[in-house]
Every structure is written in C-alpha cells, then in structure tokens.
Structure 1
Amino acid sequence: EASTTSWKVLREEATCPICLEYFRDAVTIDCGHNFCRSCIAQCWEGSDTAASCPQCRETVQQRNLRPNRKLANVVEIAKRFSLQAAKGAGEERVCGEHQETLKLFCEEDQTSVCVVCHLSRDHRDHRVVPIQEAAQEYKVGSSCVTQHLAHVFSVPFLFFYFKGKVKTRREMIAGEYNKLHTLLREEEQLLLQSLEEEERETLQRLQENVTKLSQQSSSLQQLITEIEEKSPAPGPDSVTLSPVDDRKRVRHGDKRQNLPNNSERFDYCVFVLGAEGFAGRRRYWEVEVGDKTGWNLGVCRESVSRKGKVTLSPEDGYWAVWLRDGGYEALTSPATPLPVSAGEVSFYNVTDRSHLFSFTDTFSGKLCPYFCPCNNAGGKNAAPLIICPVPAQAGGNLGP
C-alpha cells in the first residue's frame, strides 16, 4: 500500500496539469508551476501581452519560461518505475481508454500503450517496442530504485510535501475568492455610478420640464389677459350702456337695464355703435377722451356678431385703437403700438393735430362708428366719451 501511494505521488509530480501526460521539455513559469513547453505555448497562443497561469490564474510574463531539469530527472524515474510496474504485471494490465492489453512501450512518450494506442494519431509516428524489450533496455537494479525512492519519498518528505500542497491549495482558493470579491466590488461601484448618473439626468430633465411648464403657464396667462382686455367681461351689476343727454355721450352705467335681447344688441361687451352707418364716403369724428384710463374707438362692419365674446381685429370686422395701461395700440393682429402711418381709416390726436394710426384694408358693406367707454372700474373710469361738434368744412358729419 505504501508503494502504491508513493507511485501515485511520483506519477502526479511527473504529470503535466494541461495534457495529463508525463512532462515533455518541462518548464517553470513566474508563479512556480510547471508545464510542458508545448502545452503552455499552445495555452497562451494568440495573446501578445501578459498571460495567466492555467493552474493558479496569477498574471505572468510569457517570455519567462525556465527549463526545469530536476523535474525532467523525476520524469525519467517515474517512467522507469512505470515500466517496471508494467513488466511485473505482465499482460494483465489493460489500457484504460481502449480496454486492450498494454503490450507495447512508446519510447518517445515513455509510457505503456496498447495496439490501438499505437495506431492512433498520438503514437502513430512514434517508435514503439514490445514492453518486454523496453523493460530490458531500461532495466535498473531493484535495490537502486528502491533506495532512491526511499530517499525521495521518506515520511518527513511526504509530510512536508503534502503540507506544502495543502498550503498552496489554500492560498489558491483564497486568491480566487479575493479576485472574485474584487470583481464584485468593482461591479458594485460601476452599477452605483450608473445609477447616480441616471438619477442626475432624470432630475435635470424634470427640472427642464418644470421650467418649460412655468414658461408656458406664464405665456398662457398673458394670452388670457390680452383676450380679456380685447373682450371685456361685464361686471356683476352693470352689463349695459346708457346713452344720455344729446345722444353724443356714452358711459358704462351702474345698474343693469332690462332691455330686449335682440340680434342688434351686444350682450357681453360694453360696445355701442352709431345710429347710422355709411358706405363709400369720407367720414370724420372727433371724440373727447378726457382723463379716462381706458377706451376703444374705431369703425366696424354693420354685420359684426354682437353675441358672446368679441375679438377686436380687422379679420373680425373691427378697425380700432384703444388705451390700456397708459399705452395706445392699434388693434391689428397682433396689436401695433402707436403712432404709425397708413391710410383709409385714420386716427389723430386733435390736441396737437398729430397722426396716430391708419388702417389699410378692403372695406365692403356698410360701416358704423364704434365707441367703447370700457368698464367704469369702480368709478375710476366713470367719465363718458363725448362726440365733439366739428364744423362742416372740416368734414364733420356724425350727428345725434
């Protein structure tokens, strides 16, 4: 039994861990492990940089291959011991691969083979002799072999050998797990960085969307304000106009009037039109605006809709100017700050005789003078618009 154990240890030390055969031209790499030169070269084939050990995975330099002559001697001893064992067993030994009797000995690979092995690709071109003949050629004194093996595989040697094996195995396992932990930590950091970047990009997009929504809300509010200014909403207690005195004054009243809801009456806007329309002739009016804070003046088509909200623009049949927030605008689309010059329907500042604005358009059908005193704003805008008398030579022709 001790002889069998010694043989197994010897066989293991003389075997390449890649091809699992006896070492051929054994070499040692940086980490201390041994391989056949051809096996390690084939394992590293195609890699130009530092490679790793097939056994412990430690990074090594490919060019640092050192011949191991002492291991070559151990291989020779193992081969001879294998030959002696084969001779002693006679023809009872069979090939583990082909289940044929081991009758031959391959001199190149220094191992027993069967007839099928000899015909295979691995041994086809090798010199193979009968196992008895090889045994005579490599015969050595049994006492010499026994003495050498007893020296190499003494109990202290085996004790330290297996202890070193266990230590190496323990270090290899620890090294593998350390590498695995390092890879896991690196992967964790990469995942955390990716998550942080995704969070930053998401928050940035959300902030951009909030900013856009805020801008859109502001623009919408401004648009609502402009629409409300162009289409003034009636107050809760007064939605109608009261012509008074000489039918040349119009103001926003304080009380709702009970009037019929006919098609000629504005039911939403505080507008009033001239009693008579005109077509194809030049007309001129002067209107006293006084210190009013807001008003509309102009002409409109007689056919404009008087129901619901009204948009003041030439496209909807209104050619007008107004005062809002201390500024004068011609109600084009969009509105035009005053003064500008054009023709056809013109507006002037009678006080200093300056031209304010002129509309140029194609006027069809009958037009009506258009006046709007705007809401009285709780009394702040209660003054009336007053149509002033104009001499006939000046072109005035709007009467009561």
Structure 2
Amino acid sequence: MVEDSRCAICLDFMRESATTECGHNFCQSCLQKAWEDSQDIFHCPLCWHPFRERHWTVNSKLARMIDVIQLLHSSKTEMRQKEPQLCERHNQELSLFCVEDKEVLCLAYVELPDHQDHHVKSTEEATSHYRQMINDFIGFLMKHIGGIQKCETRQNKKLQELRMQVRKHRWKLATEFWRKIEFVDRAEEAAFSRRAEEERSIQQSLSTNIIAFQNHICTMDALLKEVAEKSVMPQLKMLSEAGMIHQRYTRLDPPALYSFQLRKEKFSLPPLDSTLGKIVQKFRTELTLDPHTAHSHMYISKDKHSVRVRKKMGAVFQRQPRFLFNLVVLSTKDFHCGRHYWEVQVNDKPRWAIGLCSHFPSSRGQQKQPLSVLNRRWTIQLQHGDYVAQGACPVPLALKEQLRGIGIYLDYEVG
C-alpha cells in the first residue's frame, strides 16, 4: 500500500495525485513537468502509453489514502520512542487494561475490589485489539466514502437524466401541439409551464440530496482523518478514548437516494392524425344568432347568420335577456357536453370580438364593462389593429396575416 502511494517520477508520497487515462498515478506537478516539452502526443511516464490531449483526473480517494498512510508512516517512530508511563498513585508501570471500565491500570489496581472481577488484558494485547479495530474502521470508512461518492455520481446522473427526459417530453409535446390546430397553443403553453414547474421541483430535490451527499462525504472525511490520528496515538491515550471510538464507529447513516418519475401529462385534444378538414367534418355544428339577446343597436339578418351595427337607432322593445350596455349577441344554441366546431367570418372588419361564455349572464342593471370580463368567457378580439386572446388574462397574438375567418373548436369536458 505504501509503494502504491508513491509517485513513480519523484518516488515520494504523491502530492495532489493525478490519474492518467491508462490508470497510473503521479503528482500533478511531476506530470506537468514531464509533459511540458510535449505538444502533439503525451506519453505516460511509466508505461509510455500515448495520449492526444494533456488530460488527467484527480483521484480524491487515493489522496485520502495517501494522507492516512503518511500519517501512519510518520508516527510509527514517534510511538516507539515514547517512554512507559507510570501510575501516579502507585508509581508502577501502566501495563494492564480493564475491558469493562476501559481504563489503563497498573498491577496494584488489579488487587483492588473495583477491578477484581473484571476482565483485564495486557496493554499490548488491548492495543493490538483496538488498533486492529481502528484499522478495520479506516478501511470501512474509505470503502464507505467510495460508496457515497458513487451515490453522488448516480445522483448527478439522475440530474442529467431529468434534463434529458424533460427535453424529450418537451419535444414530444411540441410535436403533438404543432400538428393540432392553432387555437390549442394556450394548452401547449400551460403544459410546458407545468412541466417546467415539475422540473424545478424535482431538480431542487435532487440538488438538495446531492448537497446532503457532499456534506456526508465531508463529515466522513473529517471522521477518517480524526480516526487516523487516533490510530497513531500512544497506546494508553488511545485506549482511554476507546469508548468514544466505538461510539463513533456505529453512527454512519448516509442520506437516502432520491428518485423521481415525471408526471404524465393528461389532456384531451384532437387525434394526432386529424387534419382541419377531418375536424370540420366530424364536429361541425351550424349556429344561428339569437335576436332576443342582441343589443338594441345590432341588426340580425333574417337567416340569423350575420349581424351588423345599425346606422340609425330606432325604438326597440327591450326583452329581459337583451344586452343593454355591450354590443353583444349570443347563439340560439348552447352546449352541455361533447365536442363542437363552427366558423365565424369577420372579413375585413376593423374591430370585432368572438368568443364563448359559460352561461347566459343577467343583463339587467349591468354597468358597461369589457366583453371578456362578463362572467366566465374566452374571446379573441381585434382592437386598434391588435389581436388579443382574452381569458383570465389577455394574451397578445402575433399573426402574420389578417384574419378573415375564425374556426372555433370546443371540447366541453376539457373546458
């Protein structure tokens, strides 16, 4: 293990270890110096394997192992030079260890009532036992940290997987919406917004979990260093802290892996193979205008298919349902279920509004207000040369050509 921790170039313990693509380890500074005269081809200083790029990876696990080995190696001589310690009370060498009380004792203490029935070992035997336990703990910690690093890598891959899946779902949704008719654009925008919110939520959870893994690794690194330092303590001091070491050894609960599954988007739209002609043929509904709901300034044709504003205002009998303050007229037919399609021709009119409402509003006593805010409504309007879709909030529409007709598709169950 000591030989593996030495740089093959300088033959000293590796400083900031770098691993080449062929798997050999060197000091970063030694590797940089070995490659400083190379331009097109870079060779491994050990096996002479060629590389096209000056590239290496940082081996953090090896760096931690080297730190531990250096600490163990540099402390062995100091441990051997320590003189035996004497009991302050009896002035005898502390050569025994009480397993029950985890205390270092001299021979005189064994005769006392407090330790007569206890299991007592020599300090050499006890030290060997706890040193082996610590060495096992060091190995376990290094393996544990390696496992946590793999979990962190897997969690980072989950983050990338999330982004790839979201991009895939977004592309799929975009393709589906593109093949449908134009008025479902608002449904596409809403679906993307929900997906983005879901992505932000999952990404936040994944990022939080990754930070938890990183914090756990930092804690394990600190614990590894602390245990490594304790492993080279003088035997009496190490044995005096044996209880604490055992307690720390049993408290290693890593964070749980966080998994996710994107919510499947549910919507009800025309089939993917539907063309506008098929939609018109399958769901076309003929509507007529209801003169009884028309504003008094509006004239309805005899066939009830067209409307215009009166140039001369005459006396009109005011029926209860008639709109009093808005230039509005409703259809004679209303819908309570199913899918329906109809068209409205606007030709070259400079100002108009077409839409749907959830139910017939009460008009008596109304104050004048925009069409879009009367009860629950959705409209598309041409006002002052601008097209606007008006629902809960106005959405400007950027159209390349002037509209001369509007096709309206209603799916009652979807709303």
Query: If the length of structure 1 is used for normalisation, what is the TM-score?
Result: 0.23
Query: If the length of structure 2 is used for normalisation, what is the TM-score?
Result: 0.23
- Please identify the structure whose Cα radius of gyration is greater: 1
